């Protein structure tokens, strides 16, 4: 079941989505949050940091698991997703960093560490709320369009389109890692509640295909049509087609 929450602009969209995460933490203070990086959730993290600074929210018992990490980047590389999470959220709230999990970009045994990541999610009792962005090609996490829906955490070869989209964070496209570790579609489908955020006209086509198109691994986000609780937060531009 998909619920669409419209907002006039990115700031309002971010506040509304932050409210849902805020509510999740009130409902279950020891919840497991699945987190995402990229431009889309930055406003949400900013709002949650404000809520924390104002004494409205407590992350003491929250655990987090991130969707993905670039292969080959250590957590102190400024473009790594671990670094991103520290910078945008973890360093500014009272979450216990030992309970914040991001796939290990430097793993020397990818098969083992991907299986361990799946086992970790199971041990935590599953994910209560998963935050997602959407790629221009309909990817979620780094599950790129393909012939089948990937199940668990795995190593992905990034598509040219994703490298192109993400080069803005690097000195050049050549510096963008070619691979990443990502939760799979099954990990995402098994979460209890999904919050997907999309902003800007450049996301409109992918979002439309995901919400109203055929359910196909060619548009990985389309599988969300089968999830029992998906909240899609959009600004007007993202829903313009």
Q: Which residues are catalytic?
A: 68, 137, 139, 144
Q: How far apart are CA 74 and CA 158, in angstroms?
A: 18
**Does 139 help bind ligand F6R (rule: CB under 6 A)?**
yes
Rounded (5°) CA angle 134-13-127: 55
The token pair that represents 190 in the structure block: 């098994």
CB 40, min distance to ligand F6R, A: 3
Out of 17, 18, 127, 140, name the contact with ligand F6R by CB under 6 A. 140
Number of residues that bind ligand F6R (CB under 6 A): 14
In the block, residue with structure tokens 């409205």? 56
82-97 burial, b at 16+ Cβ within 10 Å, e below that, comes to: bbbbbebbbebbebee
Of 7, 10, 65, 68, the residue at the interface with ligand F6R (CB under 6 A) is 68
Residue nearest to ligand F6R (CB): 133
Q: Which of 67, 195, 224, 232 binds ligand F6R (CB under 6 A)?
A: 67
Quick check: helix, strand or coil at residue 150?
coil
Does 40 interact with ligand F6R (rule: CB under 6 A)?
yes
Give, as one character, the DSSP assignment of residue 241: -
Residue 51 interacts with ligand F6R (CB under 6 A): yes or no: no
Two structure tokens written together for 198: 């999309």
Residue 38 engages ligand F6R in binding (rule: CB under 6 A): yes
Q: Distance (Å, rounded) from C-alpha 30 to C-alpha 24?
A: 10
Q: Which stretches of the chain bind ligand F6R, using CB under 6 A? A: 36-40, 67-68, 133-135, 139-142
């Amino acid at each position: 079941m998909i619920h669409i929450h419209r907002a006039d602009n990115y700031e309002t969209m971010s506040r509304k989505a932050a409210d849902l995460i805020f509510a999740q933490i009130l409902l279950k203070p020891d919840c497991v949050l699945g987190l995402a990086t990229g431009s889309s959730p930055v406003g949400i993290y900013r709002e949650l940091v404000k809520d924390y600074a104002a004494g409205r929210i407590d992350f003491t018992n929250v655990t987090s698991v991130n969707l993905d990490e670039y292969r080959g980047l250590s957590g102190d590389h400024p473009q790594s997703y671990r670094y991103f999470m520290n910078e945008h959220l973890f360093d500014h709230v009272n979450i216990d960093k030992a309970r914040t999990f991001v796939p290990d970009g430097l793993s020397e045994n990818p098969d083992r560490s991907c299986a361990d990541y799946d086992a970790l999610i199971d041990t935590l009792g599953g994910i209560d709320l998963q935050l997602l962005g959407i790629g221009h090609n309909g990817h979620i996490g780094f599950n790129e369009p393909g012939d089948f829906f990937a199940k668990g955490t795995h190593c992905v070869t990034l598509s040219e389109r994703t490298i192109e989209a993400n080069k803005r964070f690097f000195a050049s496209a050549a510096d963008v890692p070619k691979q990443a570790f990502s939760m799979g579609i099954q990990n995402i489908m098994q979460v209890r509640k999904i919050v997907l955020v999309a902003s800007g006209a450049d996301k409109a086509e992918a979002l439309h295909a995901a919400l109203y198109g055929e359910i196909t691994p060619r548009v990985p986000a389309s599988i969300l049509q089968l999830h029992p609780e998906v909240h899609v937060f959009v600004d007007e531009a993202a829903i313009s087609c």
